[in-house]
Amino acid sequence: MNPIIEFKHVGKSYGEKKIIEDLNLSILPNEIFVLVGPSGSGKTTTLKMINGLSTATEGDIYFKHQKLTDYDIQKMRWQMGYVLQQIALFPTMTVKENIEVIPEILGWKKERRSERVDELLEQVGLEPALYRERMPKELSGGEQQRIGILRAIAAQPDLILMDEPFSALDPISRLSLQELVINLQRELKNTIVFVTHNMNEAIKLGDRIAVMKNGQVVQCDTPDKIQKEPANEFVQTFFEETEENRSLSAISVKELMSQKQASAKKLVEHSLCICETAKLGELFSLLAKEPAVSIVNDKGEYIGELTQSDVFAFLSEREDG
């Protein structure tokens, strides 16, 4: 498979200070590629070089088999979504206006833009009639970042760049948005390059992970391979359990079910099923495979059904609370 992004012997320096050194990477279509490492490792600089916000001082970067230097950079950026850590919604524009910024620039007709906005809001569990005319200041942090993600994908770009987009959010919001990214990527089949300093997040999201240190890639492989065969002690230290994982592990499916009226639907043969005593992380794993999961009590009796939208709505309520 031909890469959508390629770094060939790329270096980046500021004066005599070397930020990136002889970087060689190939990022494939339809994968979530994660750059992980501590502050100062060069991961954000690497991301910014992809869309020309930072320029390489050595080597070449290719997008769709063409050198970045051969593109009209502004037009090229319209083919890339970008989500930042700082929630960068336009404060004087409504949710709808924020989401449709790039489609409008690209000349989409008003009706098509409106349909796209409503479709995307529904996908992330935000009722269009309630949210499309709201202003950013009326949203929680998690809701604002969800809108930021929708704005990045609204024009259906082939490539999405995400620079530590969830690090400033609470653990609940962070977990829900990680699941949102996974589910949207599976549906849209675009390529995501995701920067984080958290290896747990990298493992959850990444099809492949590049671990960076001092401007170089220490190891680049699948999450499974990196976990089982870390290249060195530096890579291994990223696997320490984090506080956010401990707090999230306390949330049960039963807590979510208590806030949702049980569905009258009967358990479908061969459908995915989980006990109400299970934790939220287990439910998320199943919802990544199917749009709905049947819930049973400890006696194996069917008590309802949960969907991705139910989970997002539950997490939104927790944010507001």
| Sequential pLDDT tens for the chain (321 residues) | 799 999 999 999 988 899 999 999 999 999 999 999 888 899 999 999 999 999 999 999 999 999 999 999 999 998 899 998 776 789 999 999 999 999 999 999 999 999 999 999 988 888 999 999 999 999 988 888 889 999 999 999 999 999 998 877 776 677 778 888 888 898 889 999 999 988 888 988 999 999 999 999 999 999 999 988 888 988 887 665 434 444 555 678 888 887 665 444 555 554 678 888 887 777 776 776 677 888 888 888 888 888 877 777 776 666 554
**CA nearest to 184, candidates 210, 165, 198:** 165
Q: What CATH number labels 251-320?
A: 3.10.580.10
- Biggest CA–CA distance in the chain, Å, is 68
Q: Spell out the residues 6+ positions from residue 308 whose beta carbon is closer than 8 angstroms to its own.
A: 125, 179, 183, 287, 291
Instruction: State the pLDDT at residue 249.
Output: 53
Sheet holding 5-14, edge to edge: 17-27, 5-14, 58-63, 66-67
DSSP bridge partners of 58: 11
Q: What is the pLDDT of residue 153?
A: 92
What letters, b where the CB count within 10 A reaches 16 and e where it falls short, cover 260-269? beebeeeeee
Predicted pLDDT at 274:
85
Are the beta carbons of 109 and 91 closer than 8 angstroms? no
Q: So what's the pLDDT on residue 177?
A: 83
Q: Residue 248 and residue 94: Cα distance in Å, rounded? A: 32
- How many secondary structure helices (H) and strands (E) does the chain include? 15, 13
In this chain, the answer to whether the domains covering 5-245 and 251-320 adopt an identical fold is: no
- What contacts 179, CB < 8 A, 6 or more positions away? 284, 287, 288, 308, 311
- How far is the C-alpha of 86 from the C-alpha of 220, rounded, in Å? 27
| CA dihedral (236, 239, 243, 246) positive or negative | negative
CA dihedral (161, 285, 188, 114) positive or negative: negative
Q: What pLDDT sits at residue 199?
A: 82
CATH 3.40.50.300 is right for the domain spanning 5-245: yes
Identify the pLDDT of residue 193. 97
| Extents of the domains making up the chain | 5-245, 251-320
Which tokens is 163 given? 């620079």
**pTM, rounded to two decimals:** 0.76
The token pair at 70 is: 């051969």
Distance between CA 34 and CA 11 in Å, rounded? 19
